[in-house]
Structure 1
Amino acid sequence: MDKLIVSPSPHDENYTKTTNIMLNVIIALLPAWGAAVYFFGLRVIPLTAVCIGSCIFFEYVCRTMMKRSNTIGDLSAVVTGLILAMNLPSTLPYWMAVIGSFVAIVIVKQLFGGLGQNFANPAITARIVLMISFPAAMTKWVEPFTHTDLDAISSATPLPLAGTDNAVSYLDLFLGKTGGCLGETCALALLIGGLYLAARKIISLAAPLSFIGSLFILSWISSSDPVYQILAGGVFLGAFFMATDYATTPITTKGKIVFGLGCGIITFIIRRFGSYPEGVSFSILLMNVLTPYIEQLTRTKVLGAKEAEKNEG
């Protein structure tokens, strides 16, 4: 005779484990990473290895020092290192990448309790810290296919060239044939990765679509080239891989839409009126801080809650 097992929700036994989620994110990032190797050369490989290796090292050391169960096997540190690498220029010195990994893992992630407890996206925060601390190194871009002499081939990213005679073509922006961070140039590869995650039900498209859509509409209203604005910079990388982070973004669909709209609006404001040509990283970080309030405003009301309040009165 079968026993009746009483247990708290959720009752679905086919839940997706953290390791499987992280593995799917790694797979989704591979097309963009491969495009970076193709366009910016073999230095992308050791730079990525430094980011991933140092993230794993710092996580292991932190968990050991705090006498907590080690979590390097869940692949979250690997994902953090890979996303951090995708947010860096190919010319960045390795020691700076190690500092970025330290900020991401030790300060943003582990000091707040580890995976799921961090208030902000670790890779985004690390990029901003590096950008503020080492602005020259973090804005040194190279032209694709000319990575044999890194000191002689620095170039501008597409965003400052918008509306000028030197503006990059839509095709080059879509394929990634332009200067920029490793993972933000090839929109096609990022789109493939994002759709893969959506098809695997790892992410919802609510935040990415509201992010990209709001930036597109605001750019169109302000007479900026909306297609150029969404293809240039880190919009696709941020929308699909960082605005969908489980720990730092809202859970509800309404919350995800609000989060994406906020990212799009702040990105537009920074690009249009700020001193930085790019605003994706800052917009996501600011919306990470607002996530608890967004969840509170968009949370689903408990069935019968209103009636209970009336009865109490």
Structure 2
Amino acid sequence: MTLQTAMAAPYTHSMFNVSRTMLAVMTCLFPATAHGIFHFGWPALLLFAVTVASAILCELVCLALSGRAVLRFSMDGSALLTGWLVAMTLPPWAPWWIGTLGAAIAVVLGKHVFGGLGQNLFNPAMVARAVLLVALPVHMTTWVAPLPLGERPNLEQALTITFGSDIPADAISGATILSEVQSQLGAGRTLSEIGPDWESLQKQFYGAVPGSLGETSVFLLLLGGLALVLLRIIRLILPLTVLGSLAALSGAAHLVDPEQFVHPAFHLATGSAVFCAFFIATDYVTAPMTALGKAIYGIGIGALIFVIRTWGAFPEGVAFAVLLMNACVPLIDTYTRPRIFGRTRKGTPLPLEER
């Protein structure tokens, strides 16, 4: 008779294990990523490939140094997804070493320093983005506008751009819509003078604007995010609370002073906000466990995005907002987890008279 080892509950009945979940998330990211690569051309594809390859290489090295089974743990797809997420947040014509450095920061500092997959406190992709923004602000805010098909660089020119850091001066575009508005407001101008138009908002929704490699098309990011919801990989509570609190605060501020605070549609129609709501804030490891905890977490992220965008030194506050709320997750989990019968929420036994 063969004895089978009994394992403790809880048991999962989902068709999704770690590798399948990673694959599903990457599949949902594919339309927005393909859109960015198509519009920004060969340099974006080369940067994407370098970033993903660097993440996988860093994963292999970290697994080997920690004495783990390299083949077994490297096949779960987490390193590939981490590199993918980092690449989506980079300027599409950034030099190769930006992608390599970002991938190394995400995998080594954001993940393996804490013990590997499932043990990291902070979202690895946002760790990389925040560090790169602080350390290399010029490289991380050098944008190019989507080019017509016949004007995009060929492969030879792309190799020079990505590996030689030789970006043509006439290809460098102005700032993104929101960052341009914030800089003009900081210079003492009013929104009626700046005049952000709804046509530019429409372009931003479909992705015909300067921006990060995978964050330009709000429509395709929404499409991928809703697919994650339909597949039951994520729940709607986090996207709704992130975008809802951002809309509520920016809308209230706009009502109070429409000359100094942009319409909430300009906040919501940024790819970074939608990308954060569906693909970053919903990270299993760094988000709270309970529905109430997720709601608090999402509201905090949305509020911090608005505060940082409005009064911070950086026009884009997603990475910093996520990392600040990541640090609050243990506290949120402590006070929102369900109480076990006979114990307090902190896990200590209740006095006999209170049971």
- SS of 1:173's partner is helix
Could you say which residue in structure 2 is the equivalent of 1:52?
Answer: 52
Matches within 5 A, 1:150-169: 150-154=168-172, 155-162=174-181, 163=191, 164-165=194-195, 167=197, 169=200
1:233 shift after superposition: 5.0
Equivalent residue in structure 1 for 2:92, among 90, 93, 102: 90
Q: How far apart in 1 are the matches of 2:179 and 2:5?
A: 62
Return the letter of the residue paired with 2:319: S
1:145 shift after superposition: 1.4
1:14 shift after superposition: 4.1
Structure 1 residues 11, 101: CA separation in 2 closer, same or farther (over 3 Å shift)?
Answer: closer
1:19 shift after superposition: 0.1
Return the letter of the residue paired with 2:195: D
Matches within 5 A, 1:260-275: 260-275=298-313
Structure 1 stretch 102-111 or stretch 22-31: which is displaced more?
A: 102-111
Q: How far apart in 2 are the matches of 1:4 and 1:152?
A: 68
1:15 shift after superposition: 5.2
1:6 shift after superposition: 6.0
Could you say which residue in structure 2 is the equivalent of 1:247?
Answer: 285
1:61 shift after superposition: 0.9
Q: CA RMSD in A?
A: 2.1
Name the % identity: 37
- Deviation digits for residues 214-242 of structure 1 (CA, Å, limit 9, x no counterpart): 10111111013011111125101111111
Could you say which residue in structure 1 is the equivalent of 2:27?
Answer: 27
Counterpart contact for 2:218–2:271, Cα < 8 Å: no
1:209 shift after superposition: 0.7
Could you say which residue in structure 2 is the equivalent of 1:120?
Answer: 122
Are positions 1:311 and 2:352 aligned together?
yes
**Structure 2: tracts of 5 or more residues without a match:** 154-166, 182-190, 255-261
Number of positions where the alignment pairs a residue of Structure 1 with one of Structure 2: 311
Are positions 1:293 and 2:331 aligned together?
yes
Are positions 1:132 and 2:111 aligned together?
no
**Structure 1: tracts of 5 or more residues without a match:** none
Structure 1 residues 7, 61: CA separation in 2 closer, same or farther (over 3 Å shift)?
Answer: closer
Could you say which residue in structure 1 is the equivalent of 2:40?
Answer: 40
1:161 shift after superposition: 3.6
Counterpart contact for 2:102–2:128, Cα < 8 Å: yes
Return the letter of the residue paired with 1:257: A
1:20 shift after superposition: 0.5
Counterpart contact for 1:121–1:242, Cα < 8 Å: yes
User: Normalising to structure 2: TM-score of the pair?
Assistant: 0.83
1:183 shift after superposition: 1.6
Equivalent residue in structure 2 for 1:208, among 232, 239, 244: 239
1:305 shift after superposition: 3.1
Could you say which residue in structure 2 is the equivalent of 1:102?
Answer: 104
Q: How far apart in 2 are the matches of 1:52 and 1:81?
A: 4
Could you say which residue in structure 2 is the equivalent of 1:80?
Answer: 82
- Deviation digits for residues 25-60 of structure 1 (CA, Å, limit 9, x no counterpart): 100100110110122112211111111101000110
Counterpart contact for 1:21–1:202, Cα < 8 Å: yes
Matches within 5 A, 1:212-231: 212-223=243-254, 224-231=262-269
Q: How far apart in 2 are the matches of 1:198 and 1:207?
A: 11
Could you say which residue in structure 2 is the equivalent of 1:143?
Answer: 145
- SS of 1:115's partner is coil
Could you say which residue in structure 1 is the equivalent of 2:164?
Answer: none
